[in-house]
Chain A
Amino acid sequence: MAAAEALLLVLVVAADVAMHERMVELGLDSPMSDERLKWIEEAQKEPDRNTTAVDIADYADVRQLALLATAPRSTPTTGCGSGCPTTSSAASTRTTTTSSPVRSSTRRSPRTTSSPGSAHPPSAGVTVAFLSDDWFALGVSEGARLEPVPGATIRLQQVVTGAPVATSAT
């Protein structure tokens, strides 16, 4: 396993555990699946399975900022969105195994095209095609009207796989 993949794996597991523990602590329903919880529980019972330990404290805020920055647009009415509890720094350093079922680091398929968005974005309330030029333009015009969240600054690359059209990434 490459160092970057190992770091990503630890980041994901640590974030999962910290978020789950914090939501339970606050009396909220954790969205983590039973299968995922069981895997983590079993891994923690068998310390010999742990092959990698990485201190991620310096990087823990990156995930929180990403979720904070995108939550108002992606979860307008449901979920914890920007109200998600902050990841506990005490839980930000974890150990994990190299046999995680996490798939995110291996599914990347950077099939992209490049074109600028529309110069005249459509108005809010109209229907635009997902990932179309108008959709990107609307995202900017509406996103600029969001309540400011000081510090939530990030450059985000979203790779969409399996799109039914050639324009598949943002």
Chain B
Amino acid sequence: MTVIEDGRTVAQHRGQDAAADVTITTTFDDALAIHRGELDINAGFMQGR
């Protein structure tokens, strides 16, 4: 889970967050591509990935 306040990451770790505002589900390959900058997260979302 990740907590972002005013655009800045203040916490990030493994585990479920019952209070999460948004849950994003991705495959491992897509997640890796996003963080490598190879897949635009907006494009991936709009393409139903």
CB-defined contacts of A19 to chain B, threshold 8 Å: 42, 46
**Chain A contact residues: helix, strand, loop or mixed:** loop
Mark each residue of chain A from 79 to 104: 1 if its CB lies under 8 Å from any CB of chain B, else 0.
Answer: 11100100000000000000001111
Min CB distance, B18 to chain A, in Å?
Answer: 9
Q: How many residues of A contact B (CB 8 A)?
A: 75
Closest to A80 in B: B42
Distance (whole angstroms) from the CB of A74 to the closest CB of chain B: 5
Q: Which listed residue, A12, A69, A160, touches B27 by the CB 8 Å rule?
A: A160
How far is A103 from B46 in the complex, measured between Cα atoms in Å?
Answer: 11
Contact B25 A108 (CB under 8 A): yes
CA distance A71 to B9 in the complex (A): 12
- CB pair A159 B4 closer than 8 Å: no
Q: Tell me, rounded to whole Å, the shortest Cβ–Cβ distance linking A147 to chain B.
A: 7
Residues of A within 8 A of B2 (CB): 70, 139, 155-158, 170
B42 close to A31 (CB less than 8 A): yes
B46 and A20 form a contact (CB under 8 A): yes
Chain A residues with Cβ under 8 A from B5's Cβ? 153
Per-residue interface assignment for chain B, residues 31 to 44, with 1 indicating a CB less than 8 Å from any chain A CB and 0 otherwise = 11011010011110
Is B42 within 8 A of A156, CB to CB?
no
**Which chain B residue lies CB-closest to A159?**
B25
In the complex, the answer to whether B15 meets A160 with C-beta atoms within 8 Å is no
Check if B14 sits within 8 Å of A115, measured CB to CB.
yes
Given contacts A70-B41, A75-B42, A156-B4, contact A162 B28 (CB under 8 A): yes
B24 and chain A: residue at smallest CB distance? A158
* Residue on B nearest A100 in the bound complex, by CB: B48
Q: A residues engaging B (CB < 8 A)?
A: 12, 15-16, 19-20, 30-33, 36, 62-63, 66-81, 84, 101-104, 107-110, 112-117, 130-131, 136, 139-140, 142-164, 167-170
